[in-house]
Chain A
């Protein structure tokens, strides 16, 4: 799981990119706390061949599940 809550651009996407490059996981959970990060991570994951489901958690946080 990647916890990218509270991180400024472009760190949430960068963390996902580095994990995908290093371990190419079949599924990956990413926590973020703003819409821009949700959109950016989703766009990157789609381009990298992942499907993304977004779940809104309490307290303005989002859990993104990336699946190959």
Chain B
């Protein structure tokens, strides 16, 4: 009886999880980088490259310099627009903003820097586990540890304050800007594009866009969130979102098993490194930061599509973070942590601690 109720209540978020996982496998099959079908952090970092905020590059045999991480990824645009359309359909497009915007911008940077130390957002962490990458399990342990620290502060009175109603125009600026930039990237030659992997590895843009539109719409409806699943399970014994998280993993595991892409191990995993300490700490930053923000990077994109301008600012913080991580050499690579990765991790933890402590609000 209880089991039936659980499925009845949470079928939508579970379906969304299956779809996200399935989409990741399909998009990888059609050209996206390995175990990266749908990584929010990686794709926002590629967008940072497309906008010229970072210029990560490699030199080929002919001595040419080729950009490696520049691509205005259609997946991101599709998620935002899908969520936006669904929010209008469901009468949930209600622009809001004003809850500590600059702190959220900073948290966006912090979360991105942490994600690029690990090499992936929470969604890619699950996708990596589903591809057999055991380094991502170390990341998961760090992610849970970060969320637990975040929960301690939430329970202790942490809040970034309330948001207020904003105009429809203000709520629409973010989706419109992202669509306009995407049109520029497809139609023009203003934005940077990658000439080498992994930035030039991409499924056909029309396929990626359509898949992301559907995922964005469903994620808006179901409120799928990779941080929310673990957080709500611990705080409220509420397991609906966690079931969505589990369904992403299930779909990726099954999909990879069918396609023969499932390779268990630590070594030689696509776009991943084996330094457990930095995998752990990178994801701990993401977990803690996302807990303070109220949702994972995917959820921030969806909320921004719904007209939440605080989330829009967070997403731009993540794009800037993607730029900083590569220009300041804090991002990891397949070879291991970046030259300034350890310093960045320490700075991120100091920032998280300061933001957590200084935003504890005592009840009146």
Q: What does the 1/0 interface line of B204-244 toward A look like (CB < 8 Å)?
A: 00000000000000000001010010011001111000000
Among the listed A8, A36, A60, which residue makes an inter-chain contact with B160, where contact means beta carbons less than 8 Å apart?
A8
Cβ contact within 8 Å between B238 and A6: no
Cβ contact within 8 Å between A9 and B94: no
In this complex, the interface size class of chain A, counting residues with CB under 8 Å from chain B, is: 20 to 34
A28 and B94 CA atoms in complex are apart in Å by 26
Nearest Cβ in chain B — how far from A59, in angstroms? 7
Question: Given A6-B96, A14-B235, A34-B92, do A59 and B165 touch, yes or no (CB 8 Å)?
Answer: yes
A43 and B238 CA atoms in complex are apart in Å by 9
CB contact list, A1-29 vs B, under 8 A? 5-11, 13-14, 17
Cβ contact within 8 Å between A60 and B165: yes
Q: What does the 1/0 interface line of B69-112 toward A look like (CB < 8 Å)?
A: 00000000000000000000010101010110000000000000
Cβ contact within 8 Å between B163 and A8: yes
Question: Given A11-B159, A35-B92, A44-B236, do A6 and B99 touch, yes or no (CB 8 Å)?
Answer: yes
Question: Given A34-B94, A35-B92, do A10 and B236 touch, yes or no (CB 8 Å)?
Answer: yes
Among the listed B94, B154, B163, which residue makes an inter-chain contact with A14, where contact means beta carbons less than 8 Å apart?
B154
Cβ contact within 8 Å between B236 and A7: no
Question: Given A10-B235, A14-B235, A36-B223, do A5 and B294 touch, yes or no (CB 8 Å)?
Answer: no
A9 and B236 CA atoms in complex are apart in Å by 12
Total interface residues on B, using CB and 8 Å? 29
Q: Is B8 in the interface zone, CB < 8 Å from A?
A: no
Residue of A nearest to B9 (CB): A43
Question: Given A14-B154, A34-B94, A35-B92, do A9 and B295 touch, yes or no (CB 8 Å)?
Answer: yes
CB contact list, A34-68 vs B, under 8 A? 34-36, 40, 43-44, 47, 59-60
Which of A11, A47, A59 lies at the interface centre, i.e. has the most chain B CB atoms within 10 A of its CB?
A11
Q: Is B362 in the interface zone, CB < 8 Å from A?
A: no
> Which residues of chain A are near B161, meaning CB under 8 Å?
6
A29 and B17 CA atoms in complex are apart in Å by 34
> Which residues of chain B are near A9, meaning CB under 8 Å?
225, 228, 294-295
> Which residues of chain B are near A11, meaning CB under 8 Å?
154, 159, 294
> Which residues of chain A are near B99, meaning CB under 8 Å?
6-8
> Which residues of chain A are near B98, meaning CB under 8 Å?
6
Q: Is B358 in the interface zone, CB < 8 Å from A?
A: no
**Which residues of A line the B interface, CB within 8 A?**
5-11, 13-14, 17, 33-36, 40, 43-44, 47, 59-60
**Which residues of B line the A interface, CB within 8 A?**
9, 90, 92, 94, 96, 98-99, 154-155, 159-165, 223, 225, 228, 231-232, 235-238, 293-295, 310
13 A-B residue pairs with Cβ-Cβ distance under 8 Å, sorted by A, are A6-B96, A6-B162, A6-B163, A7-B159, A9-B294, A10-B154, A11-B159, A14-B155, A17-B235, A33-B94, A33-B165, A34-B92, A44-B236
Instruction: Known pairs A6-B164, A10-B228; list 10 more (Cβ under 8 Å).
Output: A6-B162, A8-B163, A10-B294, A11-B154, A14-B235, A33-B96, A34-B94, A43-B9, A47-B238, A60-B165
6 tightest A-B CB contacts, nearest first: A6-B162, A8-B294, A6-B163, A9-B294, A60-B94, A7-B162
